[in-house]
Amino acid sequence: MRSRQFWMVPITVALLTVMFAVAPSQAEVYKMALSLAITGPTSDAGNPYAKGVEDYIRYVNDTKLLGEDTVQCPIRDDQYQTDITKRNFEEFLDDGIVFYLNYSTGSTQALKRDFDEEKIPVIPASMDAGNLVDSTYIFLPIASYSSQCIALAEYITKNHKNGTPQVAMFIHPSAFGRGPVDDVRKAVKAGLKMDIVEVVEHGKDLDNTAMLQRLMSKKVRYVICQTVQSPVATLIKDAQRLGLTAKTFGEDGKLTFVGAHYTGGNDLIELAGSAAEGYFWTTSYALTSEPGKGTDFQMMLAKKYNRDEKTANSHNYTNGMMVAQTAVETMRRVKQKGGKVTREALFKELNAMNGDNAYSPGNTVAPVTYSPSDRAGVDSVQIYSVQKGVFRAVGEPFAPEYVEKIKK
């Protein structure tokens, strides 16, 4: 009896060893999450953005991009309200997320300290440069609003003829709108040759006649818009009615309208109709109206998950897709190096995403690069303008020079 017991122990150990060796390793689930405005203010941007994130994560799991490992990414509506965002974030933390996608400028800045305390890498939809001040774990997806506005200002100065261009800024009455104003002013101080004649914070205006004529009386020739599409649509429709819209860039005696990421896209054309013609816009994303490898993938993804044409062609769908791509790529790299996918490992990997390790998601005009001293993803921007009802690329992508100059 004793000898039987004696043999049972090594046999059991041997059997267990064989079982563990033969059985496949346990698949991991990487948890990330997104809180954004699917309803409420800016939900017109939030909706396609959420779909972009959702579709890419489904694609990763369906095509086993991370092998047997999967990514879980619950998406919750915060109605553009910071208190709801905070509640969502806290619940996501309880679920054990290792990566977080946030949305608005207000909530990103309000939760900065929480992100630092939790040491969790965050990519918000907001591209406000202020997100990076006094924070370590926030990474902007593309060039900041400030960089975009400076890029537009540089484009104006390079293409303006006859003297110093007189410029007005038309901004959203919030932190999101005001953010880039100081940086553009700094660029002017640093040597960018233009005059900022006026900064206009818009309301819910039905008629911009007074404002447009006031700008004309001050010899303003360019209006840099940093807001959302709807007020820009009303503005450019009024300018068209008053016969003030420039037919060519910088036409003398007329107004040329230019704008940052959230002012443009197909929604602007939808809202403004023919008044959008000749509107100049900048973003770091590739557009489906200028097809390429990245946009082909985007169209395939949208088709695979039965998205309508409007969503498939939305630059906010691209935006959502791209942040999900960046998060998943970071996880893949950590995994490839044999590390455990933790908040700390992802943070380190994001900071190493530069030089030869820069990441090209395909739907941006330049690679995504992060480092401890540069947490804005894509540093270059592309200027687009509306030609015959679609946005067309104007020139080549470029990195605005004054972004670095004003840092010094």
Partner 1 sequence: MSYFLQLVLSGIVVGSIYALSGLGFVLIYKSSRVLNIAHGQIIAAGAFITYTLTVWGGLPLYLSFFLSMGVTFFLAMSVERIFLRRLIGEPIISVIMVTIGLMSILDGIIYLTPFGGSNFSFPEFFPKTPINLGPVSISWTQLVGVIITFILIGLFSWFFKKSTIGISMRAVSDDQLASMSVGISVPRVFGLAWALAGMSAAAAGGIIGNITGLNFETLHAFGIIVFPVVILGGLDSIVGAVVAGIIMGVIQQFASGYLDGKWGLNGTADVLPYIILLIILLFKPHGLFGTHEIERV
- Binding residues for partner 1 (CB under 8 A): 38-44, 46-48, 173, 198-201, 203-207, 209-211, 213-214, 217-218, 229-230, 233-234, 237, 240-243, 267, 270-274, 310
The two tokens of residue 92 are 């996501």
Smaller CB distance to partner 1: residue 170 or 285? 170
**Rounded (10°) CA dihedral 151, 152, 154, 156:** 170
The answer to whether 169 and 184 have CB atoms below 8 angstroms apart is yes
- For residue 130, give the amino acid letter: G
Smaller CB distance to partner 1: residue 277 or 344? 277
Q: Determine the 3-state secondary structure of 202 from DSSP.
A: coil
CA atoms within 13 A on the CB side of 100: 33
What is the closest distance, in whole angstroms, from the C-beta atom of residue 198 to partner 1 in the complex? 5
Smaller CB distance to partner 1: residue 32 or 38? 38
DSSP 233-280: HHHHHHHHHTT-B-SSTT-TTSBEEEE-GGG-SHHHHHHHGGGGTT-E
CA distance 373 to 392: 33
What is the closest distance, in whole angstroms, from the C-beta atom of residue 133 to partner 1 in the complex? 24
Smaller CB distance to partner 1: residue 74 or 273? 273
What is the closest distance, in whole angstroms, from the C-beta atom of residue 332 to partner 1 in the complex? 31
What is the closest distance, in whole angstroms, from the C-beta atom of residue 228 to partner 1 in the complex? 9
Q: How many CB atoms lie within 10 A of CB 18?
A: 10
What is the closest distance, in whole angstroms, from the C-beta atom of residue 282 to partner 1 in the complex? 20
Smaller CB distance to partner 1: residue 194 or 275? 275
Place of tokens 């946005």: 391
What is the closest distance, in whole angstroms, from the C-beta atom of residue 223 to partner 1 in the complex? 13
Backbone φ, ψ for residue 45 (5° rounding): -90, -40
Smaller CB distance to partner 1: residue 269 or 345? 269
Smaller CB distance to partner 1: residue 186 or 214? 214
What is the closest distance, in whole angstroms, from the C-beta atom of residue 203 to partner 1 in the complex? 4
Q: How many CB atoms lie within 10 A of CB 279?
A: 25
Which helix H or strand E contains 351, and what residues bound it?
helix 343-351
Backbone φ, ψ for residue 73 (5° rounding): -140, 85
